Amino acid sequence: AFNALNLLSKEEKKRGVITHSSGNHAQAVALASSLLNIQATIVMPKGAPLNKINATKEYGADIVFCDNTLEARTRTTDHLITKNNYILIHPYDNDHVINGQGTAAYELIKEEGEFDIIIAPLGGGGLLSGTALATKGLCPKAQVFGVEPILADDALRSIQSGHIIPSTYPNTIADGLRTSICERTFHIIQKYVDKILTVSEMEIIDAMRFLWERMKIIVEPSGAVPLAALLSVKIKIKDKKVGLILSGGNIDIEPFFHLLKERVLK
């Protein structure tokens, strides 16, 4: 997001920017806009996690809520662009956003050397596209895998069929992966991603538990899907050097603390 905002012209920055997101890209645009002194408006679904909503507000963005569908997000965003002449910073249908998201894999490879396999989450496809481009550019022999929830497996079905099949009201705990891929990310994934894997809701939860308990890393469901694929033995990794992109630690921990308080008060 910062890369896309930073590359805007002075005139574009003055117009203000807009995006739609359930929370992660929303926060990225809000924070980057604050750092660059750009007015930002974020369209968020009503069902977005409260902690993501609060963080987006605290970074200084204006939030407009819409229904919990991709169609509603797009319709609301388009209306506000027409009304206010905002610049759209799409969460994944934007080359500069994709390039910026690819820096995670770029930095991983630069720090740790070449990998045999790199695995990234897959929702709209921006992060996976950036990961694939960076990985294939730095170590062409490496394989790149994308992982999506089985309840939001539009990318797998799209690649298998050869054309985009949008998700229809996906109901997965990985809220950041409920979006469908677009033409831009579809073609990048077709060309540079070696395989798409799916994971169940319980496999995602098990991966989160492992990260929290064993590695002491707070990762949200959307960010835990690469490890979920690994732990559920969907990938052969013997004698392989594997890198995981664990993106997103934006999880609402209030229910957990609520349970603790109830236990203490009993």
Give pLDDT tens digits for 156-215: 999 999 999 998 888 899 988 999 999 999 999 999 999 999 999 999 999 999 999 999
Q: Is residue 263 part of a domain?
A: no
In tens, the pLDDT along 225-250 reads: 999 999 999 999 999 999 999 998 88
For the whole prediction, is pTM greater than 0.75? yes
pLDDT at 7 over 80: yes
Claim to verify: residue 153 and residue 225 sit in the same structural domain: yes
The residue assigned the tokens 């995602």 is: 204
Q: Is residue 18 part of a domain?
A: yes
Claim to verify: residue 53 and residue 106 sit in the same structural domain: no
Claim to verify: residue 66 and residue 147 sit in the same structural domain: no
pLDDT at 86: 98
In tens, the pLDDT along 126-159 reads: 999 999 999 999 999 999 999 999 999 999 999 9
Q: How far is CA 63 from CA 18, 58, 68, 91, 251, in A?
A: 10, 11, 15, 16, 19
- Asked whether the beta carbons of 51 and 250 are under 8 A apart, the reply is yes
> Residue 141: what are its φ and ψ, rounded to 5°?
-80, -10
Q: Is residue 252 part of a domain?
A: no
Domain of residue 14, CATH code: 3.40.50.1100
Structure tokens at 162: 């050869």
Claim to verify: residue 87 and residue 109 sit in the same structural domain: no
Q: Which of 91, 107, 136 is the last residue of a domain?
A: 91
Q: Is residue 260 part of a domain?
A: no
Q: What is the distance in angstroms between the CA of the first residue and the CA of the last residue of the chain?
A: 46
pLDDT at 148: 98
In tens, the pLDDT along 63-120 reads: 999 998 888 999 999 999 999 999 999 999 999 999 999 999 999 999 999 999 999 9
Claim to verify: residue 70 and residue 134 sit in the same structural domain: no
Q: Is residue 255 part of a domain?
A: no
Q: Is residue 202 part of a domain?
A: yes
Claim to verify: residue 104 and residue 77 sit in the same structural domain: no
pLDDT at 248: 86
Q: Which range marks the domain in which residue 116 is found? A: 98-244
DSSP string, 40-95: EEEEEETTS-HHHHHHHHHTT-EEEEE-SSHHHHHHHHHHHHHHH-PEE--SSS-H
